[in-house]
Amino acid sequence: MDKLALDGGDKVRPEPFPKRHLFGAQERDAVLALFERAIQTGDAIGYNGPEEQAYEAEFAAYMGGGYADMVNSGSSALYVALGALCLQPAGEVVVPPITDPGGVMPVALLNLVPVVADSLPDTFNAGPEQIEAVLTPHTRAIVVAHIAGEPADMDPVLELARSRDIPVVEDCAQAHGARYRGRLVGTLGSIAATSTMSGKHHATGPQGGVVYTQDEALYWEAKRFADRGKPFNLEIASNVRAGLNLNGNDLAAAIGRIQLSRLPAMVARRREIAGSIKAGMSGLQAVGPGRELDGVESVYWFMRFKVDASLLTVDKAGFTRALAAEGIPVNPSYRHIPAEAAWFRERRVFPGSDYPWGLPDYQGNRDAVYACPNAVEAAESHFCISIHENFTDAEVDSILEALRKVEAAYLR
């Protein structure tokens, strides 16, 4: 048996994995063209201008129609999407068990009480039964995130929401281009938010986000809320509601337009790579690809792998340490569980106050604690590898070889 790199053996993968090379000459040229125009005309580069409008139209076209509003981050996009729904303060909003803080904080900042649904066993996404279990007469919306680029089980969630007449907000930050039963995520709920920061599938620069909906009235409300309540599409001369300035801008949009044109190829390549890795793992016993639902086409922001430590002489941490030593860029745990975070547990949304939980109008359970056993179990039993479209067969082979080598060394 090959000696593990951890124990002084040769590394499976001595050379680093390739960088993503997300931004290239096309993005540079698009940005330079805007500067050239600004220099020649004397007009500053702005926002809501032709580039931003074109980007939004192209984004909506990718989604198969509807309306897009570019904003300055994915967190802002979720904040704006929720704000567009005009939910009354002190209502409850169901939030995902595993997600970025920016996928939950906007709920609390709108003075709505986040109520956490557990995940579907063996996955990072909230399950329909787990969502149903936390619905109350105070539920005003459900936020569903498609974590890792894997669509959540949306049909039963949409059915639940319809039966209660509450909207579903899709958080597609990690899942642009993913499909659930043939339909693009983001088109399933009432309104969707996505992040376009530079780690995501397509980026509008270092930071960015988009709000998307097929409902024109929601779109205009989102646009107003994202820009200080300006009376877009209204015959009113003054600002109609309080809001921040969360606008996108033309420079970012110029980058986003190039990136968006590459999205279909990025998504296709990620699927191909993930498919090869999954196929190559069929002979392994203690480690397997994460459970995916039938009928989904994921876009793999990262790939999940499940470890059955009962078959090994080490725990998951030991397994991933050995994988990393072989030269594989592994994330031992994606344990982003908002209910475990200090801001959530200690209720620091508006420091010095326990709002939104303490709002006099809040009629739900102020003391609710969310243990999320399925999410904790999923986080503890899985590790992740961030694959990207610039991987070649050599990277796929390195991952598979390292998985086989480490498993063979530790199998009971």
| 8-state DSSP, 214 | S
C-alpha–C-alpha distance, residues 152 and 163, integer Å: 19
Q: Least distance in Å: CB of 95 to ligand PLP?
A: 10
User: By beta-carbon distance, which residue lies closest to ligand PLP?
Assistant: 74
> Is the Cα dihedral 117, 121, 127, 128 positive or negative?
negative
Q: H or E segment at 404?
A: helix 393-410
Judged by beta carbon, residue 27 or residue 171, the one nearer ligand PLP is: 171
Q: Which is nearer to ligand PLP, 75 or 190 (CB)?
A: 75
Give how many residues touch ligand PLP by CB under 6 A: 15
| Residue closer to ligand PLP, measured from CB, 144 or 277 | 144
| Closer residue to ligand PLP in complex, CB, 69/407 | 69
Q: Give backbone dihedrals phi and psi of 156, rounded to 5 degrees, phi first.
A: -65, -30
Q: Which whole-number Å values give the CA distances from 387 to 45, 204, 273, 391, 393, in the listed order?
A: 35, 20, 8, 7, 12
108-127: which residues touch ligand PLP (CB under 6 A)? none
Q: Based on CB atoms, which residue is closest to ligand PLP, 173 or 226? A: 173
| Of residues 168-227, those binding ligand PLP (CB under 6 A) | 171, 173-174, 195, 197, 209
**CA-CA distance, 117 to 114, in Å (whole number)?**
10
Distance in Å, CB of 175 to ligand PLP, minimum: 8
Q: How far is the CB of 197 from ligand PLP (least distance, A)?
A: 4
| Interface with ligand PLP, residue 102, by CB under 6 A | yes
String of contacts with ligand PLP for each residue 56-95, x by CB under 6 A: -----------------xxx--x-----------------
Q: How many of the other CB atoms lie within 10 Å of CB of 306?
A: 16
Q: Smallest distance from the beta carbon of 362 to ligand PLP, in angstroms?
A: 25
Give strand pairing partners of 10: none
> Shortest approach of ligand PLP to residue 269 CB, angstroms?
21
Specify the amino acid at residue 321. Answer: R
DSSP state of 365: -
State the Cα angle at 336 between 334 and 342, rounded to 5°. 145
Residue 23 in tokens: 């931004």
Residues of this chain that bind ligand PLP (CB under 6 A): 73-75, 78, 99-100, 102-103, 145, 171, 173-174, 195, 197, 209
